[in-house]
Amino acid sequence: MKTQMLAVLAASLLGPITAHADYTFAQIDYPDVPNTLVFGINNRGEVVGHGSSDVQVPFVYRWRRVDFTDVPPVSSTASGDMVTFLSGINDSYVIVGSVTSQDGSVRLGFVRSTDGTYSTFSHPDADGQTQARAVNDNGLVSGFRDAADGSTVGFIYDTATGTFVDIVPSLSTIAHGINSAGEVVGSANFDADVVCPGAPAGKYGWLRFVDGSVTFFQVNGQPTQARGINDAHAIAGSISDADTATERGFVVELTGSEPCVSLTIPARRFLEFPGYDSTLPEGISNSGAVVGMVFNNDDGVTHGFIATRN
């Protein structure tokens, strides 16, 4: 990272930032499929994702019981047959995700209620793609949608009122985790000098506070994506390590609301599943359990994981 940006970011940092790496890892593999993708966890230890082969198999995995429950997909919509992806689950067993047309041209968000009923929705300004990524216990859904110019915009969708608040537009925004307070984390791509004066172009993690202020950050000067946040402001995500061509996971605690922050984490503090090249955290519970995906570069086969603190 440029020296100028380091000076700007270091001066703007408020509060402690720490990383944790003392975890026990367990692999999550949906039976008889080559790939398992995991995206969210609630505070009861229920994990959502899908097994991937010729078809997608949405599931809830109860990690304490080590069992899978298949979730019936959305059967059809006005756009025809759709593929169902689960991304988030709250403590009341409300599930969110997206359904996609077979050709990928249309994507709708959905909320699956406790009785199993699906309600699909589309952001009114979407060009065809609306993704729901997480839901908190107050019925707020985080996600993102596309725009006609090819950029993407994050949103918070209130299921009670059916209204949207747009957040963190960029060249490519993914809004993912949301905690009980309504704070949201994700990633965004910007041109140079957009995030703050002297900031280089690239991918930044971000935390949006309830008052609408946003803190952008990079870890070790690398492209950074934030994916999960719990009620204690612990943020799970990953960096793209250019030197090793791998993804390395992290958990940090971010306090303060300055616009730009630069984090430095020693190698021993990264969250890395033993035996795999890349570790990509996607969600974190209040107990600090982290879920996500791992893979090796040579085969590209994806496995889910859960990491629990020792």
pLDDT digits (tens, 9 = 90+) for 140-153: 999 999 999 999 99
pTM of the model: 0.90
Residue 295: its pLDDT value, please?
Answer: 96
Q: Does 203 have pLDDT greater than 80?
A: yes
pLDDT band at 105 (very low <50, low <70, confident <90, very high): confident
- What is the CATH architecture assignment of 3-309? 6 Propeller (2.120)
Nearest one of 176, 302, 171, 169 to 237, comparing CA atoms? 176
Residue 3: its pLDDT value, please?
Answer: 28
Question: Does residue 181 come out as left (phi exceeding 0), alpha (psi in the -120 to 50 range) or beta?
Answer: alpha
**pLDDT, tens digit (0-9, with 9 covering 90-100), for 110-135:** 999 999 999 999 999 999 999 999 99
Separate counts of helices (H) and strands (E) for the chain: 1, 24
Question: Mean pLDDT of all residues in the chain?
Answer: 89
pLDDT band at 13 (very low <50, low <70, confident <90, very high): very low
Q: What is the mean pLDDT of residues 75-101?
A: 85
Residue 223: its pLDDT value, please?
Answer: 97
Q: Does 8 have pLDDT greater than 60?
A: no
Structure tokens given for 17: 């930032």
Q: Does 9 have pLDDT greater than 50?
A: no
pLDDT band at 101 (very low <50, low <70, confident <90, very high): confident
Sheet holding 118-121, edge to edge: 82-89, 95-101, 107-112, 118-121
Rounded Cα distance, 284 and 234, in Å = 8
Nearest one of 99, 175, 173, 112 to 139, comparing CA atoms? 112
**pLDDT, tens digit (0-9, with 9 covering 90-100), for 147-194:** 999 999 999 999 999 999 999 999 999 999 999 999 999 999 999 999
4-14 in b/e form (b: 16+ CB < 10 A) is ebeebbeebbe
Q: What percent of the chain has pLDDT over 90?
A: 76
Min mean pLDDT across 1-5, 38-42, 77-81, 257-261 is at 1-5
Host H or E run for residue 60: strand 56-62
**pLDDT, tens digit (0-9, with 9 covering 90-100), for 55-80:** 789 999 998 888 999 999 887 655 55
Residue 162: its pLDDT value, please?
Answer: 96
Rounded Cα distance, 81 and 182, in Å = 33
Contact between residue 168 and residue 175 where contact means Cβ atoms under 8 Å apart:
yes
Structure tokens given for 259: 């616009």
Residue 77: its pLDDT value, please?
Answer: 56
Residue 80: its pLDDT value, please?
Answer: 53
Residue 12: its pLDDT value, please?
Answer: 31
**pLDDT, tens digit (0-9, with 9 covering 90-100), for 204-215:** 999 999 999 999
Residue 7: its pLDDT value, please?
Answer: 29
